Amino acid sequence: NAGVTQTPKFQVLKTGQSMTLQCAQDMNHNSMYWYRQDPGMGLRLIYYSASEGTTDKGEVPNGYNVSRLNKREFSLRLESAAPSQTSVYFCASSATSGPYNEQFFGPGTRLTVL
């Protein structure tokens, strides 16, 4: 049972380049999330998908797009990377139904934009 997996683990981009961060979960969770974490700060929500077929903006969506490809996979795309997007990106998932909303996190992608 792998939980939440993310690829790549590290990436360096030049300003203006594009890339897609991949995330997959094998826990049959309905909800998936993308966060960014900057040095000394907590996690800020970029986008989330409450269920397959839906996506919605979080706290800091500008400069990003997402795709909920199926129930397992949720990708984050940077169309034109900027230095301000240098950060560590975490994907997470949670079961929507029931009284609990614990989120399980992937190992993160460290992105540097030069």
Please, what is the minimum distance in Å from the beta carbon of residue 63 to other proteins?
20
State the DSSP code for 80.
S
Is residue 96 within the footprint of other proteins (CB under 8 A)? yes
DSSP helix, strand, coil percent of the chain (3-state; round to 5): 5, 50, 45
As measured in angstroms, the least distance from the Cβ of 58 to other proteins is 8
Two tokens, residue 96: 């929507």
Contact with other proteins (CB under 8 A) among 11, 45, 72, 73:
45
Burial of 70 (0-12, 13-18, 19+ CB in 10 A): exposed
> Which residues in this chain contact other proteins in the complex, by CB under 8 A?
30-31, 33, 35, 40-45, 48-51, 56, 58, 90, 94, 96-97, 99-108
